[in-house]
Amino acid sequence: MVDADRLGKIASIGQDLITTQLTMAMETPSQAFESGWVLGYCFGVFDALAQHAELNDDDDVFSLITLGLLGLFADPGDPEAAMFVRRSLDYQDNPRFQEGAAAGGGDVFVWIADRAKPPKALFERLNQ
């Protein structure tokens, strides 16, 4: 098990990458997460960060994704936030969710390889 402080720091990185794009697109998590693609994108961001941090324990990965998604909301205790965490698990087989997850993960790995290339697929998707 990874300590909670480390998970919080990793989750914060993903939240910053996502929140920046949501702010530029003038969307709130509640509005954006109605799309399976967007929810998948966010899931993919946190999953890619977990891979990069070499979190091999499924419980740690799930904790990171949960912390990350909940932290995108102004009130992480809001029942709506928990609903989206649950939906991210239910949508695993949804093609749009999978497409979004691949885009989110791809954005993170490109950014890790070259910090001059910030993640942007979420912003582009929301501004279509």
Rounded Cα distance between 45 and 83, Å, is 19
Per-domain boundaries in the chain: 4-126
CA distance 115 to 63: 26
**What pLDDT is attached to residue 40?**
96
H or E element that contains 19: helix 4-24
17/108 Cα distance (integer angstroms) = 9
Q: Tens digit of pLDDT for each residue in 11-38?
A: 999 999 999 999 999 998 888 988 899 9
Quote the pTM value. 0.94
Sole residue written with tokens 């910053």:
16
Question: Given this model, what pLDDT does residue 109 score?
Answer: 98
What CA–CA distance (Å, rounded) separates 104 from 39?
10
**Contact between residue 30 and residue 81 where contact means Cβ atoms under 8 Å apart:** no
pLDDT, one tens digit per residue, over 57-109 is 999 999 999 999 999 988 878 888 899 999 999 999 999 999 999 999 999 99
CA atoms within 13 A on the CB side of 40: 20
**CB-neighbour burial class of residue 8 (10 A; exposed 0-12, middle 13-18, buried 19+):** middle
Amino acid at 18: I
